[in-house]
Structure 1
Amino acid sequence: MSEKPLESFVGVVGKETWWSRIEALEAAAAEGRRCGWAARQRHAIELTIARLLRAPARAPNAAESEIVHLAGLLAASFRGLAAKGKAALHASLHAALSGDGALTPIFHQMRVAERHRRRGFSVSFAGLETGAAFDLAISRNGARAEIVCDVLSAEDGREVSRQAWRQLADRVDPDLHAWLAAHPGRYLLKMTLPQGLRADGGGENASPAHLQARIRTLLAGDARAQQDETAVLRLDPLVLAGTDTSQHGLLAQLRGDFGPEAHLSVTVAGQGVFVMAARAAREDDVGTALRRRLAALSGARLSGAAPGVLAMFLEDTDLAEWRGLRETLRLEGAARGFLAGAEARPVAAVSCATRAELIGLPVPQSAAGGEVRFANPAHPAARSPELAAAIRSAE
């Protein structure tokens, strides 16, 4: 690997492309208190690399070191590819560094490739080098397997999009500051969103703009804003049980009161406090979204000529949600439910990881072993000693 992995990585991308993207991401990170935070989270890989490049004398911390390592792996992998593979990886990088793209899928693929090399497999980037529908081909002692590396957003399993909720909270902040100036006190706005909330307001879903208009009307004293087919609003005094009235303290208390799936926002103006709390009519179902994606990948991206492994990266989830998905067995239930069906015939195993594993956070913030993995007991490869390290379920 290069002695300067970050410089090598930027060399693969191209300096002009890289720094132009960083400029755009830093502008997005400054837009709105909540949306800016979300942009910094989504593009943490890019922003971390940029920060380290600007301060080369500072030693990276443990999480940053993992990102540096993966950036170096990508640069080394690029050098080892033939011309066709280099062109394909270069195109993938440029797509990841434009529009709504992010580096997460490519770094996930690099991490999966490295983990299998460490397990003793020969690994090739079949998707880049030959245009295969799957991403990686692994082999050991004559046994082969195909690996698909895919990213699933937890937003696909939520009725109320966190992105849309942040947009709403940022949009309504100025309205709440103005209202609190005229109505000092502490308030709680409860919202039930029977049809969910989406940034684009597609279908019958509410949109941030629609809810902002509803909230403005309610604050103006119009009771007709309290209920329609998209939302039920109720404004009450905020009763605080604890003494910690900081935003962090309030959010912790409200999370305990409303549960892990509630969407919360706190606006503070002088001595005034305005809390918004929203829930969908149905519980989040990230497991069902995962099962749907696994079924689609199995049919579209595995050849069936060799055992298949679906290596999933779950994006847009926080540490509490990720831990909950594991401990409540909802993730396991979704994966095993898929593996028990006919659509899983080409699939020998399913694995799942998040940013917690990517940057090497300790257990229980991350999964033991760097991923959760479930074998398909009905697949012949489940009994293959040569492939066991890639297929066997995590203990």
Structure 2
Amino acid sequence: MEATQNLTSRKSDLNVLLLRILSADSNSVSSSSVKKEQFHSHKHSFHSSFCSNDSFVPSNLKSFTYDELKNATKNFQADSLLDEGRFGYVFKGWIDETTFAPCKPGSGMVVAVKKLKAGRFQGHREWLVRRKELKNSNYLGLIVKAEVNYLGLLYHENLVNLIGYCAELDNRLLVYEVMSKGSLENHLFKKGDKVIPWATRMCIAVEVARALSFLHGLDASVVYRDLKASNILLDSDFSAKLSAFGLARDGPRGDRTRFPTRVCCTRGYAAPEYLASGNLTPQIDVYSFGVVLLELLSGRRATSAENAGGADEKLVEWAKPFLCDSRRVLRIMDIRLGGKYSKKGAQTAASLVLRCVDVDPRLRPTMDEVLATLELVKAPKVVHNRLNKADDKLVSREDKGARSISRGRNQDFH
């Protein structure tokens, strides 16, 4: 009976959400003639909405016990392992579509269960985090709280869906929808894998830009702070979604333009002014996006021994001489594309990269401007088809259990 009532409530929430989507034109900021799927919400600050305990969570999220997730993942066995990242392991699990109770493998709804691992933050050369924060025993808890606070309250087609979490004793786990193709990193850089075509790369870039534009456009703007290829997940048709909101924070608002924080970032993706001051602004996401776009164009990692200066040279440093010279700019392009890309589109995208990674944050474009430029780079037919797919997904998933996890997230709250 309780499960039926919960499902009825969630259906009601979805109806409200769909009505808000239909009326969202007056709230959205359109930067081109292409329809922009962007939703707005009033948002609590990180500290006020999720305090020092786990008592406040969005009602649409499931609070799992550790035993439930053990059963859902076959006791976290190796054959259930989907991926391993810096913060933890990701396992495949199965839960009931209605009650979210664990069920037998092969039945119910497939989910991704991220099991965070403690004691793995220090010594990783990619990370630039102050030691005081690294030694904080509550750091894992802060990551979980940030994920729950943002992904539990916001919904957008290009943000991964969070189903629930576990914060039982020292165990910290997060339960997401499964993105069947894994991360962009796994497809863009691995030798021997099928090469991602030019049109698909530009679609991915647009979808990531759309997600960041949404976050920056909220009444209480959100700075994602950890944009990189490994945090961009792809579904079966290579549609992109942002994941891993553990480092996301509320950005500056009103007259408060300086918002210093502890420096948490990944080498090669971080804006220079953020490394120097820790000042949190949406422009640091713009810089990181420029790096990701450069990775999509070149097929090279943000930091790699393949770059001319070896492992210590960042991709941006290697590419800038070419980006600044219109006669040589196409030399940065991924040779695996075999020249099968729009030369004009590549030049436009490369010019956009140069603007995004400008050392002066005041000269960088906004994500709205980035999105408008990239939508023009894409072939009109591709734009039309992908947007229609996004619209179809939004409606067709209404009666599926997986869709219930995101219902009602963008309703105003105080």
Where on the TM-score scale, by shorter chain, does this alignment land: which range? under 0.3
Q: Choose between structure 1 and 2: higher strand proportion.
A: 1
Per the normalisation by structure 2, the TM-score is: 0.26
Larger RCO, structures 1/2 (Cα 8 Å, 6+ apart): 2
Larger radius of gyration: 1
Per the normalisation by structure 1, the TM-score is: 0.27
